[in-house]
Structure 1
Amino acid sequence: MAFDPLQERGIPLDEQLRNWRELNVTPIDPDHADPYTRCRIITMNGIEVEAITFSHQLARHCPDLEIRQQLARVRYIEAQQQKAVNWLLPGVASVLETTIAYEQAAVDLTAWVARMEPDPYLRQAYQFGLLEHFDHLYRYANLYEMIEHRPAGRLVGQLTEVMPGRPSYLQHRDAMDDVRAPYDKNATEPLSKLHALTVLSAEQQTMNFYLNAGPMYMEPIARQLYQEIAQIEEEHVTHYESLVDPGESPWERLLNHEYNECYLYHSFVETECDPRVRNVWELHLSMELEHLRLAAELFRRFDGRDPDQVLAPALPPPVTFEPNKAYVRDLLATQIDCTTLGTGYVWEAHERFSRMREVVMGGEKAPSEQVIDDNRTVSGQEYRLETEGPHPAGLRLGR
């Protein structure tokens, strides 16, 4: 039977508070954990951070003291959840190893969402971003080989290929071309709303991670590469957030956030291979069911509608981390030259793109290109992990 979170009973909010010992979870084994377990952790960390951030913004614009107090109580629990999730990552992993895991999560999460997205316009938006995430993985993998002398394959587990995508230096666009047309909240399928919020949350967390992690390196090329890609991640957050209908009320957005958390925790309960991590997903799902119930009450009170009018009657099939090699290769062969123009897409460069890159590059080679040259010098060749034959778009990419 399909799982309807609106009909399920969760843990009462008064019973959700945990002590430090309970939050101090044992991290996954960096050498033996499934790479997709790491991806699920990274994804749920982004989902929880977005939930916390949205709740803060909602509270700052809410004049009702009682509602602000309720938001604060739920938000405190969300913050505990975020720490329990994020602390599952192993402390012995380097910043760069975590970065590669972030990009693997971005590639395979976005690929899965694109494959499942019913709306052609939204699907194109995810396909577009996917080829850029894919290229970032390639750039960081070469930095990893160069400064830590290890192959990225030991981290991605042969599940995700590592090779050039849409070259990062071509990803610097006029900011207004990152703004997409939003979906129509009254006509779009509930699944599409969940997809948009999921990808936005994950991308926003990636941006925040790079903004903070980039200066931690001493190597100039590492600092430069993080700076360049962090700026591209800003473009991506703009790209994805603009897909969400700004006409949704604050209470509808709160409802969507809580429903999406239930959706993802339930998905990962269904697909997680690590029993100990699955226990965390199960506990948090039980908590989120109560958060959803509270959000539904606010939605009924302030929007005067029933949640069934805007939410799916039951959860869609679970979000699944799985190899997407053939799908990515097909996009590389057919959409590598795609770029944005206004709210649409074109397959040829526009003169304003060149002007933008001239200013950003300052007449120098982009760090994302320089890191490949530097690794060839240090390692004798660039790093790639191709498991399905030659690169579909040839060796011209990334040069």
Structure 2
Amino acid sequence: MTFNPLEHEGIPLDKQLRNWRELDVAPVDPDDSDPYTRCRIIALNGIEIESIMFSHHFARVCPDMDVKRKLAEVRYIEAQQQKVVNWLLPGAASPLETTIAYEQVAVDLTAWVARMEPDPQLKQAYEFGVLEDFDHLYRYANLYEMIQHRKAEKIVDGLTEVIPGRPTRFHHRHPADNVREPYDKTEADPLSKLHALTIMAAEQQTMNFYMNVGPQYMEPIARQLYQEIGLIEEEHVTHYESLVDPGETWWERLVNHEYNECYLYYSFMQTESDPRVKVIWELHLNMELAHLQAACDLMRVNDGREPEEVVAPELPVPVTFEPNKQYLRELLDTQIDLTTLGAGYVRDAHERFERMQETVMGGEQPPSDAVIDMHTEKFGTDYRHELERS
């Protein structure tokens, strides 16, 4: 069954405000809930944050007071949505447990997007990045067992493997080599635009989370590992945001953001296993439909264009969290030794990469290697959770 969000008005904007009781949602159970429910929560939180920050940036360059007021009205509702979504996460979970869930999101969401991406250049960008998030999951899992004495498979529940990816030490590249060529807005498949927005938002959320959580740890190795991987997440945001055509107007971007929110809430409604959470996804979808209508009206008035010129007439195949073990193993077999040069990818280290490595490492072992050595010294081996291929 197809679904065209442009044909639905949703809940009127002036009926969307919620009071404190309605915003005070009960969190999911950290021990009994579906790990992919937690992944959906984290992914949608990133989408809401991106929508809010985009609206703020738009407002800062917009001289039209009426437009600024409409953006503010929608943005406040988005902020309420973000609080509800993010507050579904259990307070009983430690920041490190949430971190492992963030990396599970990064691995399985990016892998799914890569599998579905129709543009070979964009597909390669996602395949390149996912092998790095895969390794981050492995490094944090070793830290988790060392300082909290628990195993990461309790969190990922056998859905995602915990094994080495492209070694984190090799993720430190010259900033110029993290900038990719963008898609062409006039030729790109509408699905490609949604993919780029989704992964950019997810990585941006992860970058922000690590830069704030990292210094709250007392253990030196934890502080160091968050600092190292936090810097790599900045690289990833640069990598993914550069995929978006900078020639898109603010109005096009606004419509794309709202359409993408409709897409993801609709997608996650299809597979959500927690009935209480599914009701929230359905409610937010009906709110987002009205936000999309408001964005389309603004584009018609200010850009003189119809939304059908920018977005697809119906939602694509729903985004799905599912195991990607075999796909990731194939990428490990074929792409683990890639690095970047300019906007492209190469297998051999080059002078700019080696100079960056030398400067960042400073002749010392990076935290991402140290955490494995410390775990091995303490337990006799590193921590990994390898599954049967499927």
- How high is the TM-score relative to the length of structure 2? 0.99
Instruction: Trace 1:69-84 onto structure 2 (pairs within 5 A).
Output: 69-84=69-84
- Tell me the residue number matched to 1:394: none
Instruction: Trace 1:85-100 onto structure 2 (pairs within 5 A).
Output: 85-100=85-100
Could you tell me how far apart the structure 1 residues matched to 2:75 and 2:92 are? 29
- Tell me the residue number matched to 2:115: 115
- Tell me the residue number matched to 2:102: 102
Instruction: Report the more deviating stretch, 357-366 or 244-253.
Output: 357-366
Instruction: Trace 1:194-273 onto structure 2 (pairs within 5 A).
Output: 194-273=194-273
- Tell me the residue number matched to 2:168: 168
Deviation at 1:44, TM superposition (A): 0.2
Deviation at 1:21, TM superposition (A): 1.1
Q: Root-mean-square deviation (CA), in Å?
A: 0.6
- Tell me the residue number matched to 1:51: 51
Instruction: Report the more deviating stretch, 344-353 or 286-295.
Output: 344-353
Deviation at 1:358, TM superposition (A): 1.1
Residue ranges of structure 1 left out of the alignment (5+ in a row): 390-399
Could you tell me how far apart the structure 2 residues matched to 1:72 and 1:146 are? 45
Calculate percent identity across the aligned residue pairs.
70
- Tell me the residue number matched to 1:289: 289
Could you tell me how far apart the structure 2 residues matched to 1:169 and 1:105 are? 22
Could you tell me how far apart the structure 1 residues matched to 2:299 and 2:273 are? 36
- Tell me the residue number matched to 1:138: 138
Aligned pairs, number: 389
Could you tell me how far apart the structure 1 residues matched to 2:301 and 2:187 are? 23
> Deviations 1:78-135 (Å, cap 9, x if unpaired)?
0000000000000000010000000000000000000000000000000000000000
- Tell me the residue number matched to 1:378: 378
- Tell me the residue number matched to 1:154: 154
- Tell me the residue number matched to 1:392: none
Could you tell me how far apart the structure 2 residues matched to 1:259 and 1:279 are? 20
Does 2:174 align with 1:177?
A: no
Could you tell me how far apart the structure 2 residues matched to 1:310 and 1:11 are? 23
Which portions of structure 1, spanning 4 or more consecutive aligned residues, are displaced by more than 3 angstroms? Answer: none
Could you tell me how far apart the structure 2 residues matched to 1:228 and 1:354 are? 17
SS in 2 for 1:298: helix
Instruction: Report the more deviating stretch, 52-61 or 348-357.
Output: 348-357
Could you tell me how far apart the structure 1 residues matched to 2:96 and 2:173 are? 26
> Deviations 1:129-158 (Å, cap 9, x if unpaired)?
000000000000000011001110000000
- Tell me the residue number matched to 1:365: 365
Could you tell me how far apart the structure 1 residues matched to 2:104 and 2:246 are? 30
Could you tell me how far apart the structure 2 residues matched to 1:379 and 1:209 are? 29
The aligned amino acid for 2:193 is K
- How high is the TM-score relative to the length of structure 1? 0.97
Deviation at 1:9, TM superposition (A): 2.2
- Tell me the residue number matched to 1:124: 124
- Tell me the residue number matched to 1:316: 316
Could you tell me how far apart the structure 1 residues matched to 2:113 and 2:180 are? 17
SS in 1 for 2:313: coil
Deviation at 1:56, TM superposition (A): 0.2
SS in 2 for 1:354: helix
SS in 1 for 2:161: coil
> Deviations 1:20-63 (Å, cap 9, x if unpaired)?
11111000000001000000000000000000000000000010
